[in-house]
Structure 1
Amino acid sequence: MVEVRVSPRDSEVHVSLGDEVVVQLPENATTGYLWSVQRVDDGLEVTGNEYEAPGQPLPGAGGKRVVRVRPTAAGEGLVQLVLKRPWEDDVQDRLSVRISVSGSEAGG
């Protein structure tokens, strides 16, 4: 298995079956704005969605949201995340990543 890291600048990534796509986004829970998975196409599976606190426990310091996606089939699919307050409808930011999956596992 290979971890493929995605930054907020990436809109497309190419992986193999057995790889894991890791999306890391800055998040500051004290603001109320949280990243959440809005859409995951067939052939992709979210295997992790966690908040990682900042290294220094400073008041108001932001951490990061780490979302892990594993392909379950060859083809293309889209993962969309939104940054919003859970109690509001307005979206502060969006990230869409198109994942192209080849039919063979990496390294094998």
Structure 2
Amino acid sequence: MGEVRVSPPVSEVHVSLGDEIVVQLPENATTGYLWSVQRVDGALQVTGDAYEAPGQPLPGAGGKRLVRIRPTAVGEASVGLVLKRPWEDHVEDRVSVRVSVGG
């Protein structure tokens, strides 16, 4: 069991059953734009979603959104995330990560 970190522009990852995938996305909460999981296709389970503040607490500095995903079966799957303000319909950015899970 291991941890596999993925950051855009990487859009595909190969892991083993039992690994945990951590999708890292830049996020600046002061803008109101937050990353959230829009869809999960296939045998993936979102196990965590947290904001990591920047190392230096400067006004307006951005941090990272860390979304933890665990595959639950061998095969192909994907997860889609969107960057948007929760009170708006407009999506500022999208990220999709395809996951190939081996035994």
TM-score, normalized by the shorter chain, greater than 0.5: yes
Give me the whole-angstrom Cα distance separating, in 1, the residues matched to 2:58 and 2:101: 40
Distance 2:36 2:18 in 1: 24
Work out whether 1:62 is the aligned partner of 2:82. no
Number of aligned residue pairs: give it.
Answer: 103
Structure 1 position 5, deviation (Å): 1.0
1:13 partner amino acid: V
Bigger Rg, structure 1 or 2: 1
Tell me which stretches of 4 or more aligned residues in structure 1 moved more than 4 Å: none
Residue identity matched to 2:89? D
Alpha-carbon shift at residue 30 of structure 1 (Å): 0.2
* Structure 2 counterpart of 1:19: 19
Q: Which amino acid aligns with 2:49?
A: N
Q: TM-score, normalised by structure 1?
A: 0.92
Q: Is it true that 1:37 corresponds to 2:37 in the alignment? A: yes
With the length of structure 2 as denominator, give the TM-score of the two structures.
0.96
Structure 1 distance, partners of 2:66, 2:93, is 16
Q: Which runs of 5+ in 2 are unaligned?
A: none
> Once the 2 structures are TM-superposed, how far is the Cα of residue 42 of structure 1 from its aligned partner?
3.1
Task: Name stretches of at least 5 consecutive residues in structure 1 with no aligned partner.
Answer: 104-108
Q: Superposition RMSD on alpha carbons, in Å?
A: 0.8
